[in-house]
Structure 1
């Protein structure tokens, strides 16, 4: 048993109905068929318009009724032989007389209830199903039109009725059990238990077909329309959109929910519950494969399956200090919206619990604001909850794909693509399943965003990057492992080919223009007898003169950093976790940035701050999109955060410092971390990225250790001085802990001044709960003035640092 549904465009004319006939005939080998049809194309809107005329007392509704009658009678004339026309015309006129009577009633009383409107709109499907069934009979198909009252039973929520599946399934099963005909069924309409006509919402014919398919456990559901399946984006707005051959039910549901209009969102659930495959086909190109929606689509390595959007969105935000840690706020907030029937499309909440924002339909904005303000009236009067904020004229753009959960960097690529094109993001939401990443943007930017993202995720051709890597220590070796493990996936899934052309340590180097095998590159370098210096390595890079060349510096060497300007000037991108260039002399830093921009290449040093966290790129996106940064502050040292989270009465300071070194968090000389100089370099880099002209000596550092623990000298003296001080430190730490506070080394930049200092942080502050070696950075900007933008995560270790370097390499490809 197969259910076929044909939309309004498929049955918009007699010529198209004959195409439908051919498609149905091609399914003749199937034992039993059910065909669900919509009203003739455009008729539902025509009926709605005519109803509104009658409601206003405008008697021109009568001319519109004549047009509706003429259209259906003309279809009969074209589709049915003259010998059979009279009885069919009589039946159609009988139905149209009923429509005229109800319209006349609306005209007289000048009132149009939703119940009456549902009854009027049902005439489109009633007429089309009858005429199409007769056309099938005319062409030798044993068809029978079905009375819609025998099928879908609903509640009385007119306009968007909810299905009573128990009664509906029983009706459908009983009807099909004793009927071998080709059944032609009107979509979109149903009835209550008391016989009142209802509709299932615009697009409800899809839903009707899915309900029938699930009830009879059909082997397949085919939805025929005027496009060749689901596309990667709306082809009317993104000209380069391409068909999606296979996708999961969940992906289809997300795309349809977020605006992909080829399929009505509720359609998915009945088919999903019975695992009935859905095929989306084109009536006007039946040979096209279309889109198959199934429980187990063919594996795809592409992370994003499609891009969709919803317009006419408002963002409603409730915020206030009284919300932090208060239970029941969200329940009351959503309860108030629910009581007024306001559908929430998107939810995002600040991690501090200071604010909750929801995306809703713009038509509900005023009603939603009023009900939420009434719910929190007392809290607003007390000043602990702020006035509800409404931002209108927005849109939601969504990336959808089940493979996004296994692909790092998708969110970063999305934000980067939008940021580069000046598209501001008002809110972001991502579910734990990582099936969907949604952004709220200005409505005026919607089409621009769709095309930007589609180009970024679907249209990139294979790009080969030629890598020259210096430094094979902990970070460099880990980077090679990560590239080796991911190279094949990048090529297949992202059209990015990574070729390691040169690799060097402090003594030797190897080169292979065809590419050094990634899985054995470290062994090959170890066996090399070719001596190398940084100058000879650079000379070889320039001699090879390869396109898309990237120099990757995984050292902490000032000598290596000194060659960046030469490389950038020769159109070679530079990626590095080495902080020396970006935090050294300001003139050098500015020269490197200027050279990169002038030559159209990249100087990327994301891992200079926060290891693999998207801190510098987030800051740059804010600035490029026109935001103004007011303040930056945070915990920038994974080493120091690990120290303050680990030191206890049982674990002394010296022991924890040694642990941090063993774990790769701390530098070989831990005084670099303990002095605060490393953190000072990081806040300096961020300040410079905002445009600030600062030198390292301009950063005020207030060390937490005595001077004798930080002075240059033998390491033995350092360890002894640290052990001498640790009891004093422990006493201070324990006393602070008893007060419910903790130490954190905080770096901050504001109003042109940067500082690094030890602070006593109370519980409840975002900095207090940062655990392990994590970093947390707060950006306060003109757009994020009330609630800073927070970036948080692991900020130390070879894995995340190498991953950050790897991410910078991929950014260049994109």
Structure 2
């Protein structure tokens, strides 16, 4: 069971989380628990690390440490008063180490990716201590382990590390023996290299941690506890009549998570896929709701389409040139240059004439991408590179969708009738999604139009 930041956000939330764990423990389930940092703490750690590096004046490190200590100690004393002295001492030791590294960053005015990983991992290191203490307060044996102690080995790509296959036997040997008579609480989001250097798995990486632990211990299921009832037909912040999907396939879940659905991390599905482990998405604040089941089996509804989702803060890059036509290696040169610069290409569309390639990338990488693509322009291979920040990438998702006649026609006819201009279309052969790009000003209207077009607010008879 993995619990997100809102599920451990304060004392009341942690009590609710421990209520859930106590209930399933009493029913005889063996559980490993993975937790995120308390709400907002990771953002605060990123901010103080940046300030420590850049500030000419003395940064407010001491005030920050005291505020973080007060927040966690107040929560600890509320949920586990009998553990407050012993666990509080461990919290103080960890915060003293954090103080030292922040002070060193300020003294050197240098924040390496390695140092940042070490700093931002502290949110989970503190929350795991408190959740474990709260379990012991209820009479349930529990110990807190950080990702390194749990055996999670990763690559050395700081900030976005991948878990190594050699982790599984290590995690299994360390966690499985604990399950027989206790509930281990493991920090999400962090691991370490084989050399013992702390790494992080990317934002929202605690889902990934949960799936990795589940795979390693051959779990029957991985449960992702969050603050919504499950995977939804669209973004509930934009669409008022969204509905929880009772079932989605692994492939559908991966597409939805990649295209902006915040409930699951894109990397959290693959470890479960490898061993056919069911993933359940549940609501900590409404635990009796059945949630969403994610599994290999594809549940094909009569209407085929299951959800409409979107990614904001992206940029469209258009690469044009007559010299590109019929010239081998042009695409390779473009994508190699972007890849070498660490720029991820989210969507690709190429004209049949080969005179145009359109890309969608993260908006934050646009300046660097344009700089990288200046080389093929200078060499004459590419005539011009243009860009547009005011765009949103959208996806219509559903198993078997691309193989069903008329689905794409319905999508683009509905948008066309409403005057929504489609700037780019990208459809792969996965039969799970049709993705396209619209102007930012049209995105919310387009999302509602398609949600209504496929009547996604209504339950299907075959669900």
Query: TM-score, normalization: structure 1?
Result: 0.54
Counterpart of 1:436 in structure 2 is: 433
Counterpart of 1:400 in structure 2 is: 397
Task: Return the offset for 1:231.
Answer: 0.5
Q: Which has the higher contact order (CA 8 A, sep 6+)?
A: 2
Task: Return the offset for 1:461.
Answer: 7.7
Counterpart of 1:81 in structure 2 is: 81
Counterpart of 1:645 in structure 2 is: none
Uncovered stretches (5+) of structure 1, i.e. residues with no partner: 463-490, 494-814
* DSSP 3-state at the match of 1:194: coil
Query: TM-score, normalization: structure 2?
Result: 0.94
Uncovered stretches (5+) of structure 2, i.e. residues with no partner: none
- 1:160-559 correspondence runs (5 A): 160-166=160-166, 168-179=167-178, 180=180, 181-380=182-381, 385-458=382-455
Task: Return the offset for 1:195.
Answer: 1.6
Task: Return the offset for 1:297.
Answer: 4.5
* DSSP 3-state at the match of 2:184: strand
Equivalent pairs counted in the alignment come to 456
Aligned equivalents of 1:299, 1:419: Cα separation in 2: 27
Counterpart of 1:537 in structure 2 is: none
The more displaced of 447-456 and 318-327 is: 318-327
* DSSP 3-state at the match of 2:315: strand
Aligned equivalents of 2:141, 2:461: Cα separation in 1: 50
Aligned equivalents of 2:245, 2:339: Cα separation in 1: 35
Task: Return the offset for 1:31.
Answer: 4.4
Kindly indicate whether the alpha-carbon contact (under 8 Å) linking 2:231 and 2:245 is maintained by their aligned counterparts in 1: yes
Counterpart of 1:725 in structure 2 is: none
Aligned equivalents of 2:319, 2:352: Cα separation in 1: 14
Aligned equivalents of 2:144, 2:461: Cα separation in 1: 50
Counterpart of 2:38 in structure 1 is: 40
- 1:160-184 Cα distance to aligned partner (Å, 9 max, x none): 1122222x11210211343232111
- 1:319-360 Cα distance to aligned partner (Å, 9 max, x none): 222222222222222111111111010011112222111111
Kindly indicate whether the alpha-carbon contact (under 8 Å) linking 2:176 and 2:217 is maintained by their aligned counterparts in 1: no
* DSSP 3-state at the match of 1:336: helix
Task: Return the offset for 1:404.
Answer: 1.1
Kindly indicate whether the alpha-carbon contact (under 8 Å) linking 1:302 and 1:403 is maintained by their aligned counterparts in 2: no
Aligned equivalents of 1:89, 1:459: Cα separation in 2: 49
Task: Return the offset for 1:420.
Answer: 2.3
Aligned equivalents of 1:458, 1:113: Cα separation in 2: 49
Kindly indicate whether the alpha-carbon contact (under 8 Å) linking 1:362 and 1:393 is maintained by their aligned counterparts in 2: no
Kindly indicate whether the alpha-carbon contact (under 8 Å) linking 2:117 and 2:159 is maintained by their aligned counterparts in 1: yes
Task: Return the offset for 1:258.
Answer: 0.4
Aligned equivalents of 1:285, 1:242: Cα separation in 2: 15
Counterpart of 2:47 in structure 1 is: 49
- 1:274-317 Cα distance to aligned partner (Å, 9 max, x none): 11000000000011111100011444222111111111221222
Kindly indicate whether the alpha-carbon contact (under 8 Å) linking 1:53 and 1:61 is maintained by their aligned counterparts in 2: no
Distance 1:224 1:31, change over 3 A: closer
- 1:393-792 correspondence runs (5 A): 393-458=390-455
Kindly indicate whether the alpha-carbon contact (under 8 Å) linking 1:320 and 1:354 is maintained by their aligned counterparts in 2: yes
Counterpart of 1:114 in structure 2 is: 113
Structure 1 or 2, whichever has the larger Rg, is 1
Residue 22 of structure 2: which of 22, 25, 30 is its match? 25
* DSSP 3-state at the match of 2:384: coil
- 1:486-506 Cα distance to aligned partner (Å, 9 max, x none): xxxxx979xxxxxxxxxxxxx
Aligned equivalents of 2:219, 2:157: Cα separation in 1: 28
Aligned equivalents of 2:372, 2:69: Cα separation in 1: 46
Distance 1:192 1:392, change over 3 A: same
Aligned equivalents of 1:60, 1:324: Cα separation in 2: 57
* DSSP 3-state at the match of 1:405: coil
Aligned equivalents of 1:353, 1:331: Cα separation in 2: 13
- 1:733-784 Cα distance to aligned partner (Å, 9 max, x none): xxxxxxxxxxxxxxxxxxxxxxxxxxxxxxxxxxxxxxxxxxxxxxxxxxxx
Aligned equivalents of 2:193, 2:366: Cα separation in 1: 31
- 1:227-265 Cα distance to aligned partner (Å, 9 max, x none): 000100110111111111101000000000000011110
Aligned equivalents of 2:376, 2:353: Cα separation in 1: 22
Aligned equivalents of 1:46, 1:91: Cα separation in 2: 21
Aligned equivalents of 1:295, 1:143: Cα separation in 2: 33
Counterpart of 1:533 in structure 2 is: none
* DSSP 3-state at the match of 1:210: helix
Counterpart of 1:65 in structure 2 is: 65
Distance 1:20 1:177, change over 3 A: closer
Query: How large is the Cα RMSD of the aligned pairs?
Result: 1.8
Counterpart of 1:695 in structure 2 is: none
Aligned equivalents of 1:157, 1:54: Cα separation in 2: 23
Kindly indicate whether the alpha-carbon contact (under 8 Å) linking 1:50 and 1:65 is maintained by their aligned counterparts in 2: no
* DSSP 3-state at the match of 1:156: coil
Counterpart of 1:145 in structure 2 is: 144
